[in-house]
Amino acid sequence: MTTLESTNRPRARSSEWKAIVILILLVPVLWSPPFLLRIFLYQPFNIPSGSMTPTLVVGDYVFAAKYAYGYGRYSFPFAPSWISGRFRAADPAYGDIVVFRSPKDTSVDYVKRVVGLPGDRIQMRQGQLFLNDQPVTRVALKDVSAGAACGGEVGAKVKRWRETMPNGASYVTYDCVDNGFVDNTEVYAVPPGHFFALGDNRDNSTDSRFKSAMGFIPMDNLVGKVTRIFWSLDSRGELRPERMGKVG
């Protein structure tokens, strides 16, 4: 017994000292400005699909402000699953572009626009968004050659609308086809603690209109608010400086 204890103890001390040394070495990294910036303030994301076209397109790189809505389970990498709620919680506003985890698949980050808050009634009628039984103001813009965003020919024309929410948030949406699959929907009643999100590419976005795929999103699943495009590359890998800046 004595021999066993005497041979084990130095190894235990050695392991403890190794752990302490590793922690000491990690301190400069853990407290470095870039690390703290990413963990607590802004997290970078790249846009892999066209669901938010024309606001965000494939090849855009954006910053999401993690402090905007408070900190919860999905604010930090490798956070334990038992964490619930949000510290310094704040709800998004109409028109905010948010990064979140879908309740149907919490392993993937999604980016959409908030159009419905708790207690709201949301519906699409002939492609127009209705909020609490009132049509959200929209103005037709000139068609553009953006068929690729709708899965069609590159030069095909696409309808555009400028949509303005009740709080003044204004943005452009694409209307790929008339009477699309979700251009006419049921009324969605947003439950407490949740929000309703749409893609700006209305006929080419899997969003809250699809109950089985996404549905209502819990506020606790928020990751951050998209604030700025900081880098953008086209399909050939060439820089698109005209796309960099704040997003609306």
pLDDT score of 13? 47
Find the farthest-apart pair of alpha carbons in the chain and give their distance in angstroms, rounded. Answer: 87
**pLDDT per residue over 122-141, tens digit each?**
999 999 999 999 999 999 99
Half-sphere exposure of 220 (CA within 13 A, CB side): 11
As given in the structure block, the two tokens for residue 215 are 């549905």
Cα–Cα distance, 223 to 110 (Å, whole number): 9
pLDDT score of 9? 35
- Residues of the chain falling short of pLDDT 70: 1-40, 77-82
For the four alpha carbons of 208, 210, 212 and 214, in that order, the dihedral sign comes to negative
pLDDT score of 8? 36
Q: Indicate the pTM of the whole model.
A: 0.82
pLDDT score of 111? 97
Cα–Cα distance, 111 to 1 (Å, whole number): 61
Cα–Cα distance, 220 to 71 (Å, whole number): 9
Please list the helix, strand and coil fractions of the chain in percent, rounded to the nearest 5, in that order. Answer: 20, 35, 45
Please tell me whether residue 81 adopts helix, strand or coil conformation.
Answer: coil
pLDDT score of 79? 63
Are the CB atoms for 135 and 129 separated by under 8 Å? yes
Q: In Å, what is the CA distance from 204 to each residue of 130, 195, 208?
A: 19, 20, 13
Element (H, E) at 175: strand 170-175
pLDDT score of 113? 98
Q: Which amino acid is at 91?
A: D
Cα–Cα distance, 227 to 248 (Å, whole number): 8
Cα 172 versus chain centre, distance: 18
Cα–Cα distance, 55 to 41 (Å, whole number): 23
pLDDT score of 72? 83
pLDDT score of 165? 98
pLDDT score of 78? 64
Distant-in-sequence contacts of 131-138, Cβ < 8 A, 24+ apart: 131/165, 131/166, 136/163, 136/164, 136/165, 136/166, 137/163, 137/164, 138/162, 138/163, 138/164, 138/173
pLDDT score of 34? 54
- Active-site residue list: 51, 112
